[in-house]
Amino acid sequence: MSSEKIIYSTDGLPLDVSLKKAERRNKLRALFLVAPLFLFLVITYLFPLSDMLFRSIDDRMITGKLPNTYKAMEQWDGKELPEEPVYAAIYEDLSFLKKNKTYGKIIARLNYEKGGFSSLIKKTVRKINKFEKGNYKEQFIKAHKRWGQIGYLRALKSTAPKYTVAKYLKGVDLLFDEDRNIIQVEESRRMHKTLWVRTFKVALWVTVFCFILAYPISHLLATLPMKYSNLLMICVLLPFWTSLLVRTSSWMVLLQQQGPINDLIVMLGIAPNDDRPELMYNVIGTFVAMTQILLPFMVLPIYSVMKTISPSLMRAGISLGGTPFMAFRKVYFPLTIPGIGAGSLLVFIIAIGYYITPALVGGASGTLISNTIAYHMKSSLDWAFASALGTMLLVGVLTIYWIFNKLVGIDNIKLG
């Protein structure tokens, strides 16, 4: 028997080769179309995100400024005051920094490691020109007594590694002690754990409130005849398209002490006029405003899922002997879960990183983690710490996103 006949396409190649070639060309064409945006995002977005991650652990600035010191300290076990060579190395580094006038940065860094370094370095640098050659240990201790305290030298040694996770530890109220053990920070300075918990709680409760409020109106919108539902849909879409700051300012108007809601409370006699309740600059304000602002993000996905559910399913459930409640619970509700999932994900993720509204109506007790990030970016200028907090938040959000993607699928995110 002869072997199978090879079919040729018009260009003279065997058909399967030709087909593969065409498919590869199509694949390349698709990739070529995605490429511009992909490259754009890699350069302007993914690279900066990884740069942020890197900044959060990067401690090379000080490593580069005190090279001799760290080298000399390598051998030192930290049990007793170091010997002469270490002090000689410190002298070498500090006098070099003094000559270039570049010691400002290391002061801030060292002072962060242990309070008191600021005056120690400043004073020493002022006197360093008068140091004589040899016997540096004695001269250093004479210049400032803290050079004779082992704690400061240990702290100095602990800044030697190029990379550090100290900022991440600080993000959850932990720190390295002088012996590189991880311990909790003093009780009065523990604030970040509270912030994380509060941020998580606010995001969770806002999601729950949004769900409770969104479910009935999504159902109404999905079941009403078109001409009514289109009209009501405006109530959902108008806030959705309106500037966030406009909506926040409307809440500031409503919640202020002399505002309409307080007027109503006084009118109804719930509170006396001279003792109006504080509705703003606390967690209540954050809750109410965030729920209203994020509600459309919950309504739209649930609505779009509910619209695809045939009303005959509920009727079938009831006609088979179920009560309306049972039919709802066993038939209707399970069908809406993809919409609930998508809406909850959107609301939760937006809420957990929310910045503007808590900053304006939250006051001190209503600030969230993102406000802290902004504070460290703009005010305290501890960019490494801001980056560490940002990375932690990012990892949290991406984990939620990933779990959601496994459970429900991102295709359920619909807009309008």
Q: In the range 382-401, which residues lie near other proteins by CB under 8 A?
A: 383, 386-387, 390, 393-394, 397-398, 401
Q: Does 109 bind other proteins (CB under 8 A)?
A: no
Q: Which of 14, 20, 26, 307 binds other proteins (CB under 8 A)?
A: 26
Q: Does 251 bind other proteins (CB under 8 A)?
A: yes
> Least distance (Å) from other proteins to the CB of residue 238?
6
Q: Which of 99, 126, 180, 414 binds other proteins (CB under 8 A)?
A: 414
Q: Which of 1, 7, 34, 267 binds other proteins (CB under 8 A)?
A: 34
> Least distance (Å) from other proteins to the CB of residue 66?
25
Structure tokens at 342: 């998508």
First to last CA, the chain: 64
> Least distance (Å) from other proteins to the CB of residue 246?
4
Site string for other proteins, 111-130 (x = CB under 8 A): --------------------
Q: Which of 373, 384, 385, 408 binds other proteins (CB under 8 A)?
A: 373
Residues 50-89 that bind other proteins (CB under 8 A): 51-52, 55
Residues 320-359 that bind other proteins (CB under 8 A): 324, 349-350, 352-356, 359
Q: Which of 285, 296, 338, 339 binds other proteins (CB under 8 A)?
A: 296
> Least distance (Å) from other proteins to the CB of residue 54?
10
> Least distance (Å) from other proteins to the CB of residue 312?
16
Q: Which of 82, 239, 362, 366 binds other proteins (CB under 8 A)?
A: 239
Taking CB under 8 A as the binding criterion, the range among 75-83, 168-176, 266-274, 377-385 that sits at the site for other proteins is 377-385
Residues 197-236 that bind other proteins (CB under 8 A): 213-214, 216-217, 220, 224, 230, 232, 234-236
Residues 169-188 that bind other proteins (CB under 8 A): none
Cβ-based nearer residue to other proteins, 149 or 282: 282
Cβ-based nearer residue to other proteins, 124 or 370: 370
Cβ-based nearer residue to other proteins, 81 or 318: 318
Q: Which of 284, 294, 331, 360 binds other proteins (CB under 8 A)?
A: 360
Q: Does 318 bind other proteins (CB under 8 A)?
A: no
Half-sphere exposure in the Cβ direction for 141 (13 Å, CA):
12
- Alpha carbon distance 291, 296 (integer Å): 9
Q: Which of 252, 266, 335, 337 binds other proteins (CB under 8 A)?
A: 252
Interface with other proteins: number of residues (CB under 8 A): 90
| Side chain identity, residue 224 | L
Q: What is the 3-state secondary structure (H, E, C) of the chain?
A: CCCCCCCECCCCCEHHHHHHHHHHHHHHHHHHHHHHHHHHHHHHHHHHHHHHHHHHHECHHHHHHCHHHHHHHCCCCCCCCCCHHHHHHHHHHHHHHHHHCCCHHHHHHHHHHCCCHHHHHHHHHHHHHHCCCCCHHHHHHHHCHHHHCHHHHHHHHHCCCCECCHHHHHHCCEEECCCCCEEECCHHHCCHHHHHHHHHHHHHHHHHHHHHHHHHHHHHHHHCCHHHHHHHHHHHHHHHHCCHHHHHHHHHHHHCCCCHHHHHHHHCCCCCHHHCCCCCCCHHHHHHHHHHHHHHHHHHHHHHHHCCCCHHHHHHHHHCCCCHHHHHHHHHHHHHHHHHHHHHHHHHHHHHCCCHHHHHHCCCCCCCHHHHHHHHHHCCCCHHHHHHHHHHHHHHHHHHHHHHHHHCCHHHCCCC
